[in-house]
């Protein structure tokens, strides 16, 4: 296997892009990543996207984006793994470059969610769950996560307010990220009084949808010269699955696919947990932050909220989390989210994270979750 370098990154701001279509967003982020890498021809573009067929009535995104970027006949396909589509597209690109078959490969994550009605979006997002056994009951995606959160609180004795630290941290960091969808800090009081969405999940437990695109340009290490900028290598790339339906899992409070993929990624990178400087985790709902930290080994079972309560996840903490706002504040354009996470890891490792720059950032972790824990991608990046 060839070593793979993330040589270029690009992103649009996450917001309601009324003046830009799906293809415009993908093209803007993709071209930014190519410029950043100093590459003007690509061999392939893999597009992470979940909803375009349902909401934009547009598939065949690989060819569409290649054409719109002026890169045909570069090959390309769409990769879908629900809300983990972004990281899945990154993994497809990584495998292509690692194989030796392709050299310059672009991975773009893109989603446009704000042009459809709320009920349409809710129905489209429910396709991440098991349509025949969950969706047909009428349960929404937030409903499934609410069941998990309630059970978690019951099993481990937490109050709702104990989860507030995750959202407060995310908003604090998002307020300093010019690409974030929500740029207002929030307080404990805001969190406690937020409007209920699906008990116990309130508005400040849930990440906002949005339109956006993020992109990474991958090259084999052998084709990347040494320059003034640090080279960012893919040190670990792993994925695992679990049942789509929450009721089919042995333990609905444990993200087994996060466990499997993280352990494999640690082994590939040859690192221990302690060496990870920060973690871009998938805080679609605050309960997911706790479960992700536990499955990845950063907290004991049932003790995830402790890391938020004691400040360990803040920029100056032991394990900074969601350093650019996470899904909660940067926003969650679902098929793009995993790519935003990777772009943000690279920003930190390069020392280009602006006001959110960490003092120490040599090894970064990104984890992207599709469905309520069904498709999980874990990536580790390091400065060479």
Q: Give the interface with its own copies as residue ranges (CB under 8 A).
A: 1, 21, 23, 44, 50-54, 56-64, 66-67, 72-82, 84-85, 88, 91-92, 95-96, 98-102, 123-124, 126-132, 135, 237-244, 248, 256-257, 260-261, 370-371, 374-375
Q: What distances in angstroms separate CA 209 from CA 75, 143, 327, one per listed residue?
A: 29, 16, 9
Neighbours of 360 (CB within 10 A): 9
Report the residue number, 129 or 329, with the smaller CB distance to its own copies: 129
Catalytic residue among 260, 282, 332, 379: 332
354: left (phi over 0), alpha (psi -120 to 50) or beta: left
Residue 87 Cβ, how far from its own copies at the closest point, in Å? Answer: 9
**In the complex with its own copies, which residue's Cβ is closer, 186 or 265?**
265
- Three-state DSSP class for residue 89: helix
296 as an active site residue: the answer is no
Which of residues 133 and 156 has its CB atom nearest to its own copies in the complex? 133
What's the closest the beta carbon of residue 19 comes to its own copies, in angstroms?
A: 14
Separation of alpha carbons 289 and 325, rounded Å: 13
- Among 212, 142, 141, 215, which Cα is nearest to 181's? 212
Which among 83, 198, 296, 322 is annotated as catalytic?
Answer: 83
What's the min distance (Å) between Cβ of 88 and its own copies? 4
Choose between 212 and 370: whose C-beta lies nearer to its own copies: 370
Report whether 380 contacts 364 (CB < 8 A). yes
> Residue 322 catalytic?
no
Closest separation between CB of residue 98 and its own copies, Å? 4
Write out the E strands in 119-264: 196-198, 201-202, 212-220, 232-241
Beta bridge mates, 204: none
Active site residues: 83, 332
């Amino acid at each position: 296997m060839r070593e793979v370098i993330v040589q270029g990154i690009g992103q649009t701001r996450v917001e309601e892009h009324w003046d830009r279509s799906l293809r415009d967003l993908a093209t803007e982020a993709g071209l930014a990543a190519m410029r950043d890498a100093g590459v003007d021809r690509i061999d392939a573009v893999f597009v992470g996207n979940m909803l375009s067929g349902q909401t934009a009535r547009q598939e065949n995104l690989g060819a569409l984006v290649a054409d719109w970027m002026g890169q045909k006949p570069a090959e390309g396909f769409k990769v879908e793994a629900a809300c983990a589509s972004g990281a899945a597209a990154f993994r497809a690109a990584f495998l292509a470059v690692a194989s030796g078959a392709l050299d310059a490969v672009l991975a773009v994550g893109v989603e446009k969610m704000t042009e459809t009605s709320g009920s349409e979006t809710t129905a489209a997002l429910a396709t991440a769950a098991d349509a025949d056994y969950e969706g047909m009951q009428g349960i929404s995606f937030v409903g499934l996560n609410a069941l998990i959160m309630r059970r978690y609180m019951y099993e481990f004795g937490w109050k709702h307010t104990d989860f507030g630290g995750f959202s407060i941290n995310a908003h604090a960091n998002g307020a300093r990220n010019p690409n974030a969808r929500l740029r207002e800090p929030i307080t404990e009081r805001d969190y406690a009084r937020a409007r209920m969405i699906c008990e116990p999940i309130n508005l400040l437990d849930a990440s906002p949808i949005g339109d956006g695109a993020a992109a990474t340009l991958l090259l084999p290490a052998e084709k990347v010269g040494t320059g003034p900028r640090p080279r960012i290598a893919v040190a670990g790339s792993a994925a695992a699955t679990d049942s789509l339906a929450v009721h089919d899992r042995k333990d609905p409070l444990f993200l087994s696919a996060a466990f499997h993929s993280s352990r494999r990624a640690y082994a590939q990178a040859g690192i221990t947990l302690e060496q990870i400087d920060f973690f871009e985790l998938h805080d679609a709902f605050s309960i997911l932050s706790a479960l992700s930290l536990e499955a990845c080994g950063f907290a004991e079972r049932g003790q995830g909220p402790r890391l938020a309560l004691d400040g360990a996840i803040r920029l100056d903490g032991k394990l900074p989390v969601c350093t650019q706002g996470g899904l909660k504040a940067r926003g969650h354009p679902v098929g793009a989210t995993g790519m935003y996470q990777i772009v943000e890891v690279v920003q930190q490792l390069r020392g280009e994270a602006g006001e959110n720059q960490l003092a120490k950032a040599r090894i970064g972790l990104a984890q992207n979750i599709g469905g309520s824990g069904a498709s999980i991608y874990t990536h580790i990046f390091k400065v060479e």
